[in-house]
Amino acid sequence: MLIPIVGIIVFLALYIWAATLYPGGSNIDKTSEGFSWLHNYWCDLMGTKAKNGNPNTAQSIALSAMFLLCMSLVIFWKNIPILFPENRYNRLIQITGMSSMLITVFLFTRYHDSVINIAGSLSVIALLFTFISLKKYHYYKILGLGILCLVMSLINYFIYQTSIGLQHLALLQKLTFIPAFLWFGLMTWRVFRS
């Protein structure tokens, strides 16, 4: 099933559309106009109000994009064991991966930080056991890309928690999407071909 790939493509289209509707303002400059690819976070698009105080006209599109992406990745995590027949970690990968995406749907709420912590922890568990399985089944190239995604995500999290290098986080967040979506896409393609 190629639903995760379609979900990622539609998410990206909706993300770009939402960015064009965003009224403006960021943590760096509350008076800026429009969405800044350098200074705005993905979550800025999901708020009721923009950082400049105006009603956020991008919200409904951004929330739809997030919901679609998360549901697509629930399907991804449900199907991933197809790559690893008779693998003892399959159920753990499914449960932690699917749970992380179902929790991520609530990123727009006032529990934003808790959602990041809980969903992030579950994702790390799912990824680590997926990496163990990729190594066991000799998927070395895709394993390397997956490790890059995890390292970039952990750097994002470190910056978010410590504020060290915070001025670079919004851009790094978007750069992390590139290998992450590529990894999910390649993994989905492998599952589809299996």
Span 35-48, pLDDT tens digits = 999 999 999 999 99
- Phi, then psi, of 42 in degrees rounded to 5: -55, -40
Q: What is the pTM of this model?
A: 0.93
pLDDT, position 188: 97
pLDDT digits (tens, 9 = 90+) for 86-145: 999 999 999 999 999 999 999 999 999 999 999 999 999 999 999 999 999 999 999 999
Average pLDDT, the chain: 96
Reported as a pLDDT band with limits 50, 70 and 90, residue 194 is: confident
> What does the alpha-carbon distance between residue 165 and residue 121 come to, in Å, rounded to a whole number?
22
User: What's the average model confidence in pLDDT over 141-152?
Assistant: 97
Composition of the chain by helix, strand, coil, percent to 5: 75, 0, 25
User: In Å, what is the CA distance from 116 to each residue of 8, 17, 100, 169?
Assistant: 20, 24, 9, 15
